[in-house]
Amino acid sequence: MTRRLMQGSQAIAEAAILSGCRFFTGYPMLPFTELLENMARKLPATGGVCINANSEIEAINMALGAAATGARAGTGSCGQGLALMQEGIAELALNELPLVVFNMARGQQDYFQATRGGGWGDYRTITLAPKDVPEAVAHTQLLFDLADRYRTPTILYGDYVIAHSSVGIEVERLDFDPLPAKDWALDGSMSGTGEARQIWTWARGKPNTPGPGPNRAWKTIAEKYEEIARVEPRFEANRTEDAEILVVSFGTTAIFVDRVVDELRAEGVRIGSFRPITLWPFPGEALAEATEGCAQVLVYELNAGQMVDDVRMFAADRSAIRSIGGVSQDNSGMRQGDLLNAEEVRTRVQHAMAQPPAAVPSGRTSS
Amino acid sequence: MTTIDTTSVPDQPSRQVVGFKPDLLQSGDHELCPGCGHPVAWRLVLDVIAELELSNRSILIAGHGCYTQMMKLSDLDSLQCLHGRAPAVATGVKRMVPDAAVFTLQGDGDMVSEGLHEVLHAAARGERVTALLFNNGVFGDTGGHLTATTVIGQRTKTSLEGREAEAHGYPIDVSRLIAQMEGTAYAARGAVNTPGMVARTKRMIRRAVELQMAGAGFTFVEVLTMCPTGWFVPTPAGPEYLEESMMETFGIGELKAPE
């Protein structure tokens, strides 16, 4: 195999199909549209099904149905469309059904949506935020594995840049540990045996095979998410060992931050960067370690300050934290704006360096 | 002519009907109100599944309402889904397990109020499932509230003086909407208020399931069922009240069927 020039959306679609995804559905919405188009083009040849849904609500519920049969399934949209899917995502979590949801986001304002969610119940969604197309290809495969392993919906937090960038890439299959059989999957074969299967958020079971009921089932699910929070955090730390200034960012923004960090290092500044790869579970312990001894912890995210909440929970010294990003959309509202720019990162980092944190009462500046 | 000897105790205790409980029911101990029409309607579905020998390949997608009981009690691979979304969920199921007999079970609040979008699109796509609507014209589970099929004049807790078109709009005849869809192979409306209607409705369900398994397209049966509790009428009055209210408004019969 050789590298081929392809758009991020195509590479992600190929990775999903390579992972065994056989059901995909979505409602066209930029910048998710091309992923849906690619799945529509490629899935039928594999024996799979791709349906152009009539709403995001229909999409998430069709995907839930496919997942309930044990098939690997996916859906997606941008954050605006995922807003409509929240009830379904929560239902998948409490039904313990695996699904991969692709948020090809218009920016970075969906951090709360991805990490807190808008559905009801004690649930979480494993969320990976790739910084570029090759990572998105790997993350897509990892998310299908994690979804099955933990029986939970997972989210790929991509964006316009990843969806639309064309890169030379080889979509390689990743290997994972064997997974348990999906004995819970519905195929009708247990009907009439006296032990028919049931998928129900209340988990009360049937007369012959009583379930644990809502209280016990939901405690068990909550414990599962605690376990994920312990085992699955992923991050990238760049030159953090001796850093006095640490810049925290996620997704494609991190590429711009890293470039500035490299530049400033070359100029003798003791600066490093930290990137949560899993937005949930947030790599809190690693961040605590990375921020140890840092005079300044600068959070560069393209929103009014969302991830900074998680940084505050874990940073060694909360008074060192400052948001130096901000809301940044271009005029179409479809993609990141002026702050996705290395010069802008550099200006804001240097501005912060010139202002000692003690001068900032709340540990936070306006952008 | 047989004469029953009443001078001594019979050899065996009397019982209603041999095999009264369908095999596909794990238990008949439901929690529904006296006079509820749902158990009769659901029994028809279970009987048809057994008669067509689809017991080991049937999947039930149930919504939220009183009929959720049926999901709990039936010996069918089941998924309880979000209110309104059963036809969408069933689409994903059937596309991945095309050989299965897939049933959705919804009430009028579930299908017509909350989920009109999903059922119409599933019909338009010709999804090869059998969608069942148990229509009693009120939210029974919440205690008698207005749904999209509540008939004009029906008193509910949210239409205290009876449904008036000016204030609450008109009831939706969803069977007629579904029958218009190109993807619909079969659409019919039955009822369970008299033995004759029960028998006729069972034939409708059987026809729908046969057409599903033949891959003909979307199949749909609406069953008008009694809800004396939600209608605020005496329990024994349910069957007659159904005839005068819902049956009068919507009518009974096949709305779309192959030649």
Same domain (yes/no): A50, A146: yes
* Cis geometry, peptide bond prior to residue A281 (ω within 30 degrees of 0): yes
Q: How far is CA B98 from CA A52, A92, A204, B208, in A?
A: 19, 22, 28, 16
Q: According to the model, what pLDDT value does residue B18 have? A: 55
Same domain (yes/no): A146, A246: no
Nearby residues of A145 by Cβ (< 8 Å), 6 or more positions away:
A19, A176, A179
Of the candidates A55, A63, A191, which has its C-beta nearest B76's C-beta? A191
Q: According to the model, what pLDDT value does residue A186 have? A: 98
Average pLDDT estimate for B239-257: 97
Nearby residues of B37 by Cβ (< 8 Å), 6 or more positions away:
B134, B136, B192, B193, B223, B224, B225, B226, B227, B238, B242
The answer to whether residue A36 sits within a structural domain is yes
Q: According to the model, what pLDDT value does residue A364 have? A: 46
Q: According to the model, what pLDDT value does residue B1 have? A: 64
The answer to whether residue A220 sits within a structural domain is no
**Cβ separation B78–A66 shorter than 8 A:** no
**Cβ separation B77–A206 shorter than 8 A:** no
Output the six-digit token pair for A332: 């179409």
The 3-state DSSP class for residue B184 equals strand
Interface probe, candidates B48, B49, B93, chain A, greatest A C-beta count within 10 A: B93
Quote the mean pLDDT of chain B: 94
Q: According to the model, what pLDDT value does residue A358 have? A: 62
Of the candidates B57, B88, B90, which has its C-beta nearest A191's C-beta? B57
Strands A271-276 and A296-299 turn out to be unpaired
B134-152 per-position pLDDT tens digit = 999 999 989 999 999 999 9
Rounded to an integer, what distance in angstroms lies between the CA atom of residue A225 and that of residue B155?
47
Per-residue DSSP letter, A357? G
Of the candidates B55, B81, B95, which has its C-beta nearest A61's C-beta? B81
The answer to whether residue A142 sits within a structural domain is yes
ipTM for this prediction: 0.94
Decide which of A169, A186, A205 is a domain's last residue: A169
Distance from the Cα of A196 to chain B's closest Cα (Å) equals: 5
Cross-strand bridge partners of residue A198: B78
Of the candidates B73, B77, B118, which has its C-beta nearest A197's C-beta? B77
Q: What is the pTM of this model?
A: 0.94
CATH number of the domain where residue A262 is located: 3.40.50.920
Q: According to the model, what pLDDT value does residue B15 have? A: 64
Of the candidates A65, A70, A198, which has its C-beta nearest B89's C-beta? A65
Q: Which residue has the tokens 């599962």?
A: A224
Size of interface A-B (CB pairs under 8 A): 155
**Do residues A221 and A209 touch, judged by C-beta distance below 8 A?**
no
Same domain (yes/no): A155, A248: no
Rounded to an integer, what distance in angstroms lies between the CA atom of residue B192 and that of residue B213?
25
**Do residues A72 and A49 touch, judged by C-beta distance below 8 A?**
no
The answer to whether residue A260 sits within a structural domain is yes
* Beta strand spans in A135-280 (E): 153-159, 166-169, 198-199, 235-238, 245-248, 271-276, 278-280
In chain A, count H helices and then E strands. 12, 15
Residue B71: pLDDT band (50, 70, 90) is very high
Distance from the Cα of A186 to chain B's closest Cα (Å) equals: 6
Mean pLDDT of successive 10-residue stretches along chain A, which has 367 residues: 92 98 97 98 97 98 98 98 98 98 97 96 98 98 98 98 97 96 97 97 96 97 98 97 97 98 97 98 97 96 98 93 96 92 97 77 46
Interface probe, candidates B30, B51, B64, B79, chain A, greatest A C-beta count within 10 A: B79
CA nearest A138: which of A85, A189, A179, A174? Answer: A174
Chain A residues closer than 8 Å to B74 by CB: 196, 206
Q: According to the model, what pLDDT value does residue A365 have? A: 47
Rounded to an integer, what distance in angstroms lies between the CA atom of residue A146 and that of residue A174?
13
Same domain (yes/no): A132, A259: no
**Cβ separation A192–B97 shorter than 8 A:** no
Domain count, chain A: 2
Same domain (yes/no): A15, A151: yes
**Cβ separation A88–B85 shorter than 8 A:** yes
CATH number of the domain where residue A138 is located: 3.40.50.970
What kind of fold does domain B38-256 have according to CATH?
Rossmann fold (3.40.50)
The answer to whether residue A270 sits within a structural domain is yes
Chain A residues closer than 8 Å to B117 by CB: 54-55, 57-58
Decide which of A122, A145, A169 is a domain's last residue: A169
Rounded to an integer, what distance in angstroms lies between the CA atom of residue A342 and that of residue A17?
35
User: What is the span of the domain harbouring residue A60?
Assistant: 4-169
